[in-house]
Amino acid sequence: MLHYRVGREYMVRVADKTSPRIIRSPLLISPLPTRFVLEYFALREELRQTRQQLAELENRSVGEEVMVVRDITKEEAKEEIRQLLNGGDTLYFSDIADKLRLDLEMVVDICRELQGDKEIGIDEEALARTK
């Protein structure tokens, strides 16, 4: 954090090396030492930038879709996955989780079990297309 004094105006360059901002303040009448006042203004500027970045992140995430995961037992989920895969479609774990609104980790565990029991298999052609 760099400070420049130009008459009664102070220019503060914040840690991220942005262009300096001029802070107009009669610092000479402050009861605090000048370095504290300058640090205060620099921290206010950093807070302003952080708030702006947070607002940008919040605006960016508004378009994302939120899925509410259903709370069902593993056996119920296994039966629903079997029924879904009986259609013969090639589905990724994430597709199954989205369609059935299930936790992805549970879907992966169940599919690994079904694969071990030879109830489902991996579509090697679909894997080759994604590489």
Environment class of 110 (CB within 10 Å of its CB; exposed 0-12, middle 13-18, buried 19+) = buried
Helix (H) / strand (E) element for 18: namely: none
**pTM exceeding the 0.75 threshold for the entire prediction:** no
List domains and CATH numbers for the chain: 2-61 (no CATH), 74-130 (1.10.10)
Q: Give pLDDT tens digits for 36-76.
A: 888 888 899 999 999 999 988 877 766 666 677 888 999 99
Task: Considering only residues 77 and 119, tell me which one the structure prediction assigns the higher pLDDT.
Answer: 77
Q: Give pLDDT tens digits for 73-118.
A: 999 999 999 988 887 778 888 889 999 999 999 999 999 998 888 8
d(CA 72, CA 83): 16
Q: What is the pLDDT of residue 87?
A: 79
